[in-house]
Structure 1
């Protein structure tokens, strides 16, 4: 309603209010623990065994991924349920890595980027995590969650997770000079690579970057990046960068005859419930994002002479 058909704000806000009580949002909230967490953990479900990760994939049911899912669903951050959740998570959730209170962040850039995005969206002061992320930027402009293990170059996935967090922080607070500069540098890291190409070879850095994934979790693909650049431009008023054009063309080419876009894959692992009909089937979530990206691109890009 908001992004595709330009419904008046009172109309889409009234629909958005239903996220708390109907559909996927209400269903996810029904799994919340009494202490505000999900599955008894911040990043890992309680009593989770490493064997399950290796056999079935990373679990997605703990607090951090549930909060990000509620943000994607559009749960109204001013609602009573959202406010109670934020307070309870802050009081009770601790990161498994070091026992830090949830809203103080973890040590990994991908996790902290999403924590900043969720916290800023739900009205939490995450400025200390933002300062840390700004200080952890790699020399080539982006971020890499393997920095603590010695990595000195950025990754696409870490960078998009941090960029989304910094953008949400900027939307909520206006940002700082340092966070804006870091965000611009991270954007340039992706733009130099046309969102998917390796800088040295010019070939796709990872073929999966061209595959359409949902839910994204921490994973990267061109649609996630394009949707980020759309949101960034709408916030700042910037014109689309021409270097997005190749990714736009590849996204357009994936449109099916019925006007939808397919899901190529979803991350393996434990979930509360499935959101799509499976690979190679039309996905409402992928279609929504693709349509709003292309709508923005068509409206904002200069007309060729």
Structure 2
């Protein structure tokens, strides 16, 4: 089967993005397919798992009951909403408005007991909060302002800054950048938030998206292995897909990372799932590590298409 046919033979969450990003399907047909996310497949299934009180699995960041102390569970409200955003659930749909109203009015953070869209304390989580709030039409300006104040001197962010860390983290920085970009798309941002995002991008680019600035060494071999869902973890495919989403032109700082992505394509045209992050999930989206991944294939193909300008 042709790789595009294989991608289209899947869930509406993938199909509409393939139609938009890889095939160039007319916008009305893309929107019609996107509308199915709320009522069919993974999106509908995930929406049905939201509790009457607005939360998934009884918690905002942590489920009410964590049965596996050795891994982080991914079933609480934050990561469930991140999946719905990845799926492309239309924020204006009746189903999205119902789900988000329940979250806005009822879901409170375990750290501080404040309402969901008021944000948490760690910048990585607040980056997710901003991405979700901006995408679903909720006001998160105060969280954006806080993130601007918390940027470190080297240009990025680190959840360990409160513990004394003075060096940024790729993991935290990519979460914040995705949030700031979504906020700019929704509101136009502020001069401060746009400047913070630009400086955060420079932090990644100065390191070629994968290398230490001091020594030139690859920072982590895990960043060369692709996961989905990415959760809070960085890898070079996630980094490149962020820059693609900004609409910027590729540059030489990204070339090595792009070649890493290109090198991972299999002979049948697919990319594999390589680095699943352990933890409790609602349901599987892929067949497991070492198997062809529709999510990674979609993301890699659109990154290469953007990088090559084709």
Residue 86 of structure 1: how far off its partner (Å) = 1.4
Contact 2:131 2:182 in 1 (8 A): yes
Q: Secondary structure at the match of 2:125?
A: helix
**Aligned counterparts of 2:215 and 2:286: Cα–Cα separation in 1:** 35
Match of 2:286? Answer: 276
Give me the CA root mean square deviation.
0.9
Q: What are the ranges of 5 or more consecutive residues in structure 2 without an aligned counterpart?
A: 1-18
Q: 1:33 aligns with which of 42, 48, 51?
A: 51
Confirm whether residue 136 of structure 1 aligns to residue 150 of structure 2: yes
1:138-157 equivalences in 2 (<5 Å): 138-157=152-171
Moved over 3 A (4+): none
In structure 1, C-alpha distance between the alignment counterparts of 2:166 and 2:228, rounded to whole Å: 29
Q: Which moved more, 1:238-247 or 1:12-21?
A: 238-247
Q: 2:47·2:99 contact (CA, 8 Å) conserved in 1? A: no
The residue that corresponds to 1:287 in the other structure is 297
Say yes or no: does 1:246 pair with 2:262.
no
Q: Distance in 2 between matches of 1:36 and 1:118?
A: 15
Match of 1:53 in 2: 69
Q: Residue 47 of structure 1: CA displacement?
A: 3.0
- The structure 1 residue matched to 2:237, chosen from 216, 223, 232, is 223
Q: Which residue of 1 aligns with 2:306?
A: 296
> Following the alignment from structure 2 to structure 1, what is the Cα–Cα distance between the partners of residues 164 and 46?
37
1:95 aligns with 2:109: yes
Distance in 1 between the 2:130 and 2:44 partners? 23
Q: Which residue of 1 aligns with 2:211?
A: 197
Shift of 1:35: 1.6
Aligned to 2:274: 264
In the TM superposition, what whole-angstrom CA distance separates every residue of 1:28-66 from its partner, at most 9, and x where no partner exists? 1111101221011100011336xx232xx1000000000
What is the CA-CA distance between 1:150 and the residue it aligns to?
1.1
TM-score (norm 2): 0.93
In the alignment of these two chains, the number of paired residues is: 292
Distance in 1 separating the partners of 2:183 and 2:254 = 23
- Return the alpha-carbon distance in structure 1 between the equivalents of residues 81 and 120 of structure 2: 15
Q: Are the aligned partners of 2:124 and 2:176 in contact in 1 as well (CA < 8 Å)?
A: yes
